[in-house]
Structure 1
């Protein structure tokens, strides 16, 4: 086995929404997102059928109608899908599997205000982070998107705490240039 057989990092995270245009407006207005490209538009035939269901693990009868790649600052992109067929409610923090995305914010109160103005619902006030993120100036708050997805806004300006048993440091955005 060669060393390049290991993944290099998270490239994107997939999100399914009930309305791609409304979700895009929420991400743009609330998080300053930018559209990278549309992988599947209203003018394209839907991706559906037994082969697509098999390849993507979709339930029988599901169809992908639209697909868009969205960029929010640095880090992985969001691949946003509009899919018809059998669906469940958005996962919560206690559900097994992917349950939220977290976004680093330099201005946590301002970011929260902007995301709520775009249609999100804050689950609480800004509060302290967990043990390894509990450094001066830290803060975190969960916000529910209009379709139920959880988004965590957080700031850790003094960085993380790492114990002697840490094997790696978590990704952080590049420092902003002062100008």
Structure 2
């Protein structure tokens, strides 16, 4: 029997923020995501989650706060607040290996841009068209109030790239 590769579903993304309560407020009120687990403090101990955190963070991690949210299409958003969190001077080091943004989709991209800016986020570029004069597919890079980079698409990923955007 041959092993067949198949596309896996996206489960969740983890974000680190300096203020969990402010982040939950931003992501529920501005992005409209559902809060599925209230902010909770996790302490180093012998519980299953404590042991898992030892595996992930190493010994001596102490404690952190966490909340869980979900998008309209059931993707999870795990938000962490670690004690003594450091905000990098340059939060957009796209040339370094690793995740440098996540993307959401909103047909009224411009209205979401305004909401994010009004809530303390930043617009990092003008709204741009992939096919100027041909199709209404738009995109923009934003920053949440905590320094996480958010790209917004007006249309689905498949529609945007299926015709070869460049």
TM range (shorter): 0.7 to 0.9
Aligned to 1:78: 77
**Partner Cα distance (2:134, 2:65) in 1:** 42
Deviation of 1:107 after TM superposition, in Å, equals: 0.5
Alignment of 1:84-163 (within 5 A): 84-85=83-84, 87=86, 89=88, 90=91, 92-129=93-130, 136-156=135-155, 159-162=159-162
Alignment of 1:47-58 (within 5 A): 47=44, 54-56=54-56, 58=57
How many residue pairs get aligned? The number is: 157
**Partner Cα distance (1:150, 1:13) in 2:** 13
* Cα 1:100/1:48, change in 2 over 3 Å: farther
Aligned to 1:33: 33
For normalisation by structure 2, the TM-score amounts to 0.76
Q: Is the 8 A contact 1:108 1:154 kept in 2?
A: yes
Gaps of 5+ in 1: 165-179
**Partner Cα distance (2:99, 2:82) in 1:** 18
Deviation of 1:64 after TM superposition, in Å, equals: 3.9
* Cα 1:87/1:60, change in 2 over 3 Å: farther
Over aligned residue pairs, what C-alpha RMSD do you find?
A: 3.3
Aligned to 1:172: none
Deviation of 1:72 after TM superposition, in Å, equals: 2.3
SS in 2 for 1:18: coil
Q: Is the 8 A contact 1:100 1:149 kept in 2?
A: yes
**Partner Cα distance (2:61, 2:70) in 1:** 26
**Partner Cα distance (2:4, 2:69) in 1:** 27
Deviation of 1:161 after TM superposition, in Å, equals: 4.1
Gaps of 5+ in 2: none
Deviation of 1:24 after TM superposition, in Å, equals: 0.8
* Cα 1:123/1:65, change in 2 over 3 Å: same
Aligned to 1:171: none
**Partner Cα distance (2:96, 2:137) in 1:** 26
